[in-house]
């Protein structure tokens, strides 16, 4: 590795015809600083002095210290030279900066504010399909459900009508490309439940009503199984169970495509549903249908008896609070019957960790260090929401915020060959109107936060219309 030192010139660059004499005197001062430290080549080009070792006994570390306070120099840095080749530059950067990157705990990232949504909303579904960011349903100002959706295209939001209101729905992006949305709070202020379901076709930007649920629901979750079938579970102030959407077109006789499947051992709201096999899944949440915490967490199987997971004796799943696309945290490969997910968990002190769900086995993912919980000011806690995985890059992101509207993105490099997953915390400048809602991954690998509640306050009456991108 061709290691060297670079020194940037100061006011000398403003000199006129006599600039060369000043540069020569400066390089003479630099050479005197290097006496006794080995043989170095000192040259000047384009307002930069290059100090390169020319002998094996040249002490570059000592030279770097000796050149810290040279008059006429405004900046000093270590560097390494390589060919003008993009791949070679990238590989050298990885080797050259490896130690510094391992020591670093956080990095700042840039953000971009998109045009605001046409309708401020919270409690909505958010997804990216056909390359378009989309929000659907939820409630708007005054905690009033809105029967609208919006998709982002041509640098603007386009609002379209829905068939029904869906505030606090479940939703699932189907392998067919359509999106199933169902359930809702029936009235304003998050009251009641709904039987209604509909499909969104991103090709036409139209919604079409579907058949009714077997059980009226709000605060439910859904996951696609095989052949277009969908398992649905969870409820709010109403009985919970599991039901199945059969994946078929609406029946000619008008009978429902949704049917009761089984009772559940725990009545839950907003559960996680993880696929464990081609026709099976497990269901778990930390809260019951009235929002209370469970004393003991039981995991239901779609097929089979309920089970208890030892991990949940200390750690509990992070509550979702809003509708969530279960495939967001999927890190497996269905073509190889590898069903794996990442799950954020927390202990009784609020300390968080990352669990890995592989089939029915749930255990902590070994990480390079604990999940950071304190914000930049060292006083506030970071309020994390949910995980979204970039399966192509083999990394996942846990997004959060603090009371100052600073955004935080915990990068989980789960795909690294080492047994311990590196964690890196990114942060942003304060983002006015940054909503507390689940993130969605954009086609170019960035994170979008669209609408939601104000910061950490959970005010349902004044939802946000802001739309932010975090540029990862």
User: In this structure, what token pair is assigned to residue 379?
Assistant: 């006083």
Computed over its alpha carbons, how large is the radius of gyration of the chain?
28
In DSSP notation, 262-321 reads E--SS-BSS-EEEEEETTEEEEE-SBBTTSPBPSS--BEESSS--B--GGGGT-EEPP--
Q: What's residue 455's pLDDT?
A: 63
- The answer to whether the CB of 261 falls within 8 A of the CB of 197 is no
Amino acid 102: pLDDT: 57
What is the DSSP-derived secondary structure letter of residue 115?
P
Compute how many other C-beta atoms are within 10 angstroms of the C-beta atom of residue 334: 13
| CB neighbours of residue 201 within 10 Å | 15
Q: How far is C-alpha 211 from the geometric centre of its chain's CA atoms?
A: 33
DSSP H or E segment with residue 22: helix 19-33
Residue 134: burial class (beta carbons within 10 Å; 0-12, 13-18, 19+):
buried
pLDDT of amino acid 457: 62
The answer to whether the beta carbons of residues 235 and 254 sit under 8 Å apart is no
C-alpha to C-alpha distances, 313 to 154, 187, 299, 317, 352, nearest whole angstrom: 49, 37, 12, 11, 14
Q: Give me the count of residues in the chain.
A: 472
Per-residue pLDDT of the chain (472 residues; tens, 9 = 90+): 689 999 999 988 888 888 988 999 999 999 999 999 999 999 999 899 999 999 989 999 999 999 998 999 999 999 998 888 888 887 888 788 776 655 555 688 999 999 999 999 999 999 999 999 999 999 999 999 999 999 999 999 999 999 999 999 999 999 999 999 999 999 999 999 999 999 999 999 999 999 999 999 999 999 999 889 999 999 999 999 999 999 988 888 878 999 999 999 999 999 999 999 999 999 999 999 999 999 999 999 999 999 999 999 999 999 999 989 999 999 999 999 999 999 999 999 999 999 999 999 999 999 988 999 998 877 788 889 899 999 999 999 999 998 888 999 999 999 877 789 999 999 999 999 888 899 999 999 999 999 999 866 678 999 999 999 999 8
pLDDT at position 202 is: 98
- The DSSP bridge pattern shows strands 340-346 and 316-317 to be antiparallel
Other CB atoms within a 10 A radius of the CB of residue 295 amount to 5
The sheet with strand 352-358 has its strands ordered as 316-317, 340-346, 352-358, 361-364
pLDDT of residue 252: 82
CA distance 167 to 194: 10
Closest CA to 105 of 369, 350, 366: 369
Per-residue pLDDT, 93? 82
Give strand pairing partners of 129: 132
Q: What is the pLDDT of residue 85?
A: 85
Distance CA 347, CA 318 (A): 10
pLDDT for the residue numbered 283: 98
Place of tokens 């401020």: 120
**Which residues, 6 or more positions from 99, have their beta carbon under 8 angstroms from its beta carbon?**
none
Helix (H) or strand (E) holding 87: helix 86-96
State the DSSP string of 342-365: EEEEE-TTS-EEEEEEETTEEEEP
Rounded Cα distance, 137 and 125, in Å: 7
pLDDT at 100: 64
Q: Residue 301: its pLDDT value, please?
A: 98
């Amino acid at each position: 590795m061709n290691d060297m030192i670079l020194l940037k010139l100061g006011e000398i660059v403003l000199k006129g015809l006599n600039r060369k004499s000043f540069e020569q005197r400066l390089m003479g001062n630099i050479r005197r600083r290097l006496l006794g430290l080995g043989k170095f080549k000192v040259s000047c080009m384009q307002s930069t002095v290059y100090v390169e070792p020319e002998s094996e006994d040249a002490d570059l570390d000592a030279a770097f210290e000796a050149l810290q306070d040279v008059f006429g120099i405004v900046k000093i840095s270590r560097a390494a030279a390589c060919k003008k080749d993009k791949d070679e530059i990238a590989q050298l950067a990885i080797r050259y900066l490896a130690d510094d990157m391992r020591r670093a705990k956080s990095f700042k990232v840039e953000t971009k504010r998109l045009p605001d949504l046409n309708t401020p909303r919270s409690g909505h579904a958010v997804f990216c399909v056909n390359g378009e960011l989309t929000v659907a349903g939820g409630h708007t100002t005054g905690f009033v459900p809105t029967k609208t959706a919006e998709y982002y295209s041509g640098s603007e939001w386009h609002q379209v009508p829905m068939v029904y209101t869906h505030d606090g729905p479940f939703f699932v992006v189907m392998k067919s490309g359509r999106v199933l949305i169902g359930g809702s709070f029936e009235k304003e202020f998050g009251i009641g439940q709904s039987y209604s379901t509909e499909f969104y076709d991103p090709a036409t930007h139209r919604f079409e009503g579907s058949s009714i649920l077997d059980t009226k629901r709000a605060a439910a979750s859904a996951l696609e199984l095989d052949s277009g079938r969908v398992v649905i579970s969870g409820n709010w102030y109403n009985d919970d169970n599991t039901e199945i959407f059969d994946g078929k077109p609406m029946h000619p006789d008008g009978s429902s495509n949704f049917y009761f499947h089984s009772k559940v051992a725990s009545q839950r709201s907003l559960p996680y549903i993880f696929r464990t096999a081609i026709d099976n899944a497990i269901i778990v949440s930390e809260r019951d249908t009235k929002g209370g915490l469970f004393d003991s967490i039981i995991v239901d199987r779609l097929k089979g008896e309920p089970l208890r997971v030892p991990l949940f004796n200390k750690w509990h799943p992070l509550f979702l609070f809003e509708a969530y696309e279960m495939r967001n945290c999927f890190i497996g490969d269905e073509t190889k019957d590898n069903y794996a997910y990442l799950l954020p968990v927390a202990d009784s002190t609020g300390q968080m960790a990352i669990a890995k769900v592989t089939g029915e086995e749930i255990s902590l993912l070994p990480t390079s260090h604990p999940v950071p919980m304190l914000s930049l000011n060292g006083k506030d806690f970071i309020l994390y929401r949910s995980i979204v995985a970039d399966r192509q890059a083999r990394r996942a992101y846990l997004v959060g915020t603090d009371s100052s509207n600073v955004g935080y993105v915990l990068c989980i490099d789960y795909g690294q060959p080492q047994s311990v997953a590196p964690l890196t915390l990114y942060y942003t400048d304060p983002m006015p109107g940054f909503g507390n809602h689940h993130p969605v991954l954009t086609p170019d690998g960035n994170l979008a936060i669209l609408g939601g509640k104000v910061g950490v306050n959970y005010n349902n009456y004044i939802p946000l219309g802001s739309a932010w991108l975090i540029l990862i």
